[in-house]
Structure 1
Amino acid sequence: MNTYALITGASKGIGRALALQLAKKGYPVLLVARSKDELQALATEIITIYQVQARWLAIDLSDSHASEKVVNWCTDNSYAVSVLINNAGYGLWGSFENVDIEGQLNVIGLNINALIKLTHGFIPLLKQQPKAYILNVGSTAAYQAVPTLAVYSATKAFVLSFTRALRYELKGSVISVSCLSPGPTDTGFAHRAGLDAFADLAAKFNMQPEEVAAIGLKGLFNKKAEIVPGLLNKLSVTGARLLPKALIEKIGGDLYKSK
């Protein structure tokens, strides 16, 4: 293939799995994340195993000018992009009033602002291709308010709503837009969010990133609007849609309450 797939948050977890699986499909990849060493190691692995090009850019996407730098990196190097995967994101656990406000704003900056800026910057480039795809990685938390993960769940609700609206706006164009909403997945998310106390509970429900990535890519290339991997996650989303919101919020609040 002559066009690249760009993946943010590519150094670990679902992003890493997406990059490897896209490379296996023959896509040269553009890897974006904060960790230079992890990106370099992944690029070397992809080149060695799949013999496709792998370029990387170490950058903190929560920085206000980072998204523009990523777009410029692609245009300056003539990287033709046909797949954009907005995977980078994280959350912080705890009562909203007790969690550092700068940290909460940083969550918004990465989960929303960076995604919006990257998507806006890449749409003109994606439209230059015969077929193009955008995959925004949300969460099952997008379907309900989650006490103690209030800002995180709100950002993912934004991602889901934005994806559906953008999908409609781009209907009839060469770009298909999808939202992947995983549930608990065996990544570094829980540790960064401060959820280590719930590790044993999460282990009972975790999916593996490789499985989530495979389902996500299948849904993306089949042009599905919403992709929810795993039977339990589908049931959770259905319950969030059908059951009273107060009940769903109580379940979520009890599940993640301080131990």
Structure 2
Amino acid sequence: MEQTNDRAIITGGSRGIGRAVAEQLVTRGHDVLLVARNAETLAQSTVALNALGPGKAWWFATDLTDQPTAAGEVVAYAERVMEGVPTLLLNGAGGASITGALDASWTLWQQDFSLKFWGYLAMMRAVLPKMMENRRGVIVNLVGVAGKDPNPTLAVASAVNGALRAVSKVLADEAKSAHVRVVNVNPGATDTDLLVEMARGIAARTHKDPAQVLAEMRQGAPLGSLPTAWDVASLIVFLMSDAAGFITGTSIDIDGGAHRGLA
């Protein structure tokens, strides 16, 4: 990320990691467009970001399962309000359903792929050619360690994240000649609202109390605590910066050492 003004699109930007990335970018003087489904939450987040400054924030409410239409609309709106081609994209929309491969309905498989895999891919396809033409841009995909360390209770997310790892590598290879980078960030369990939702899902499958499950997840963290949204956002903002100029076509884990396989 250069010292000049950058223009960022952040999907899943109204809360959690996406919102934390937006805060860090705005306080550094960069402009952001928050994208999510809930217009009210987006509007509130945008007001808060504009109070931080010196960068500016806008919002765009859309259903990212409506692809590729939604991606085209997002990028066109970003170009209009930010008066230029986006230079940064964080793909962060989509959660992680707690389910086994056979337990998950066919509809759930389709929904999760539509939101995260097709959503991320459509956003990259919409913005990457523009970045390549300008010879400036960084795309960071919020993926997850289950993409390389499949988890039977995150069966759909494991498949989605694995597919994203592959397509991100391919797109990074296509973009490198234009000096545009594509990087994945793989959080493990992270102390956000999504963690609470995941704890409820695990509790339903294991017949435990959600508070107990949440406590066990936090207590089981290898470093004694879980990373926060701000911790993950700090890594993402670094990867978007010129300091990470030779990092592309790869995935970076931020899980406190929870992944036990070879790096």
- CA change 1:192–1:63 in 2 (3 A) is farther
Query: In angstroms, what is the RMSD of aligned CA positions?
Result: 2.0
Q: Does 1:226 align with 2:241?
A: no
CA distance in 1, matches of 2:175, 2:131: 11
Q: Could you report, residue by residue, the CA deviation over 1:23-67 in whole angstroms, capped at 9, with x for unpaired residues?
A: 122111010011212211111111111232111001121223322
Question: 2:166: which partner in 1?
Answer: 161
Q: Is the 8 A contact 2:191 2:227 kept in 1?
A: yes
CA distance in 1, matches of 2:29, 2:202: 36
CA distance in 1, matches of 2:86, 2:9: 7
- CA change 1:191–1:101 in 2 (3 A) is farther
Aligned length in residues: 238
Question: 1:255: which partner in 2?
Answer: none
CA distance in 2, matches of 1:5, 1:220: 10
Question: How far did residue 144 of structure 1 move?
Answer: 1.7
- SS of residue paired to 2:158: helix
Q: Is the 8 A contact 2:190 2:228 kept in 1?
A: yes
CA distance in 1, matches of 2:97, 2:196: 10
Q: Does 1:16 align with 2:19?
A: yes
Q: Does 1:43 align with 2:46?
A: yes
- Identify which of 30, 40, 45 aligns with 1:27: 30
- SS of residue paired to 1:136: strand
Question: 1:59: which partner in 2?
Answer: 62
Q: Is the 8 A contact 1:212 1:229 kept in 2?
A: yes
Q: Does 1:147 align with 2:167?
A: no
CA distance in 1, matches of 2:227, 2:6: 30
CA distance in 2, matches of 1:74, 1:209: 24
Q: Does 1:89 align with 2:104?
A: no
Q: How does 1:203-218 map to 2 (within 5 A)?
A: 203-204=218-219, 205=221, 206-218=226-238
- CA change 1:227–1:175 in 2 (3 A) is same
Letter in 2 for 1:9: G
CA distance in 2, matches of 1:217, 1:202: 26
Letter in 1 for 2:215: D
Q: Compute the TM-score of the two structures, normalised by the length of structure 1.
A: 0.84
Question: 2:181: which partner in 1?
Answer: 176
- CA change 1:56–1:27 in 2 (3 A) is same
Letter in 2 for 1:201: E
CA distance in 1, matches of 2:254, 2:239: 10
Does 161-170 or 191-200 show the bigger shift? 191-200
Q: Compute the TM-score of the two structures, normalised by the length of structure 2.
A: 0.83
Question: How far did residue 124 of structure 1 move?
Answer: 2.1
- SS of residue paired to 1:228: strand
CA distance in 2, matches of 1:95, 1:176: 34
- SS of residue paired to 1:195: helix
Q: Does 1:74 align with 2:78?
A: yes
Question: 2:136: which partner in 1?
Answer: 131
The percentage of aligned residue pairs carrying the same residue is 25
